[in-house]
């Protein structure tokens, strides 16, 4: 990458081209993103890689512009850390600034460490939703659980969604995509199932003392909170955003912070909730939030992670690289690509896809189609 920043001469289709490239942005979850920018993690006093918020990280009066991290200021702070005479002095200065005691690896490249390390919406939304789901489930009484499961089973989910596990008994097995999907339909399910008898008495009393409303108003406040969370998810994952969408996203993110902090103590100072302060800035920088999400990376990571036990663990990097390039080669040939050694389309791979199409289907039980029935009878 350092060589690409200076430029490399490459021969592309018989022509010499001067190629220059640089780092656009990094995508990571909260802890890894802090490590890559040289900022301490979220359990520190100042643990946000985008700003200097402390214990009041979810305060709605925060002036983010005045407490943001800026690259040139962080450079001076790192210089002060490295010029400390003793190790104790270095650690104290790093603690005050909320920085680590060594430069991040990407500082060897030309980049703006705080602007090019956006917060990831995939972990932010999934983390907030999981937290809210756990709180919601613990508040339900036995009657509330029965009503919830009844409406959850009968709800009209989109046909393209995979079947979700039971959220009360199998919530820990939910993938991030499952959490986000369930969060989108929770306002409708709760609107049909949630009554004043569906909450435990002590939970209802605690909420009444906290928000000073009667029982029916508490139920409405919970449903409204879920509706705001679902609306934030919808706006956050939009593929394209207009100026009006950006204004609406900023407004709903503020509503979400206010609603969650008002109802639940557990969201006060929550890193995932605080990170949503910076989403408006990331929209202005990268166009949309989907451009910097790590959903695809997480799926690829899962594929590689499942592959590791099938290697001899002696040279994992080489094994994974060979596995990945082989898959890409098969995909290229199946799509009708040309093998430069043969200078013709790989007809065999194209025929393989047509003759054995059932091999390329998803690994789920599906309704039998007429084509499948004919193949079965022919065999």
pLDDT > 70? residue 44: yes
pLDDT > 70? residue 353: no
- Average pLDDT of 295-319? 78
Band of the pLDDT at 351, cuts 50, 70, 90? low
pLDDT at position 365 is 43
pLDDT at position 347 is 59
pLDDT at position 379 is 47
pLDDT > 90? residue 143: yes
- Average pLDDT of 360-377? 46
- Average pLDDT of 287-314? 79
Residue 338: beta bridge partners?
Answer: 345
- Average pLDDT of 111-138? 91
Distances (CA, A) of 233 to 109, 179, 264, 289, 327: 34, 11, 19, 11, 33
How far is residue 133's CA from residue 63's CA, in Å, rounded to a whole number?
30
Q: Tell me 278's DSSP state.
A: G
Query: Who has greater pLDDT, 32 or 341?
Result: 32
Give residue-wise pLDDT tens across range 83-94.
Answer: 999 999 999 999
Q: What does the mean pLDDT of the chain come to? A: 84
pLDDT > 60? residue 52: yes
pLDDT at position 261 is 92
Give residue-wise pLDDT tens across range 155-165.
Answer: 988 888 878 88
- Average pLDDT of 219-241? 93
Query: Who has greater pLDDT, 374 or 279?
Result: 279
Query: Who has greater pLDDT, 226 or 367?
Result: 226
Contact 238, 198 (CB under 8 A): no
pLDDT > 80? residue 31: yes
Q: Tell me 5's DSSP state.
A: H
Band of the pLDDT at 342, cuts 50, 70, 90? low
**Complete DSSP assignment for 97-129:** HTB-SS--GGGGSS--TTTSSPPPHHHHHHHHH
- Average pLDDT of 115-139? 91
Q: Scan for tokens 């005691």, then name that residue.
A: 101
10 Å CB burial of residue 297 (0-12, 13-18, 19+) is middle
Question: Both tokens of residue 234?
Answer: 């919808």
pLDDT at position 248 is 94
- In this prediction the pTM is 0.77
pLDDT at position 316 is 83
- Average pLDDT of 126-136? 92
* CA atoms 144, 145, 146, 151: torsion sign: positive
């Amino acid at each position: 990458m350092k060589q690409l920043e200076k430029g490399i001469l490459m021969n592309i289709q018989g022509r010499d081209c001067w190629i220059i490239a640089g780092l656009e942005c990094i995508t990571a979850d909260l802890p890894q993103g802090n490590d890559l920018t040289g900022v301490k993690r979220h359990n520190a006093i100042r643990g946000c890689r985008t700003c200097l918020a402390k214990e009041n990280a979810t305060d709605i009066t925060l002036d983010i512009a005045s407490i943001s991290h800026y690259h040139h200021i962080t450079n001076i702070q790192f210089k002060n850390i490295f010029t400390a005479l003793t190790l104790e002095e270095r650690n104290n200065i790093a603690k005050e600034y909320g920085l680590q005691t060594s430069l991040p690896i990407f500082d060897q490249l030309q980049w703006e460490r705080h602007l090019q390390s956006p917060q990831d919406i995939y972990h932010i939304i999934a983390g907030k939703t999981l937290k809210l789901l756990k709180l919601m489930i613990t508040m339900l009484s036995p009657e509330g659980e029965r009503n919830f499961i009844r409406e959850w089973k009968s709800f009209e989910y989109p046909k393209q969604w995979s079947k979700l596990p039971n959220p009360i008994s199998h919530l820990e097995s939910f993938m991030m995509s499952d959490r986000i999907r369930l969060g989108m339909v929770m306002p409708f399910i709760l609107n049909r199932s949630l009554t004043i008898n569906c909450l435990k008495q002590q939970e209802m009393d605690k909420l009444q003392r906290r928000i000073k409303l009667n029982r029916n108003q508490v139920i409405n406040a919970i449903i409204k909170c879920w509706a705001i969370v679902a609306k934030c998810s919808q706006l956050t994952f939009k593929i394209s955003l207009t100026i009006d969408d950006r204004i609406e996203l900023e407004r709903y993110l503020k509503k979400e912070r206010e609603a969650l902090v008002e109802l639940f103590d557990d969201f006060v100072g929550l890193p995932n909730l605080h990170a949503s302060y910076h989403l408006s800035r990331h929209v202005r920088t990268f166009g949309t939030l989907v451009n910097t999400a790590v959903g695809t990376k997480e799926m690829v990571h899962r594929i590689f992670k499942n592959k590791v036990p099938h290697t001899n663990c002696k040279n994992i990097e080489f094994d994974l690289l060979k596995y990945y390039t082989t898959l890409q080669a098969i995909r290229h040939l199946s799509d009708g690509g040309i093998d430069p050694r043969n200078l013709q389309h790989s007809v065999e791979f194209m025929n393989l896809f047509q003759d054995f199409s059932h091999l390329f289907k998803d690994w789920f039980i599906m309704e039998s189609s007429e084509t499948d029935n004919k193949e079965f009878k022919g065999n």
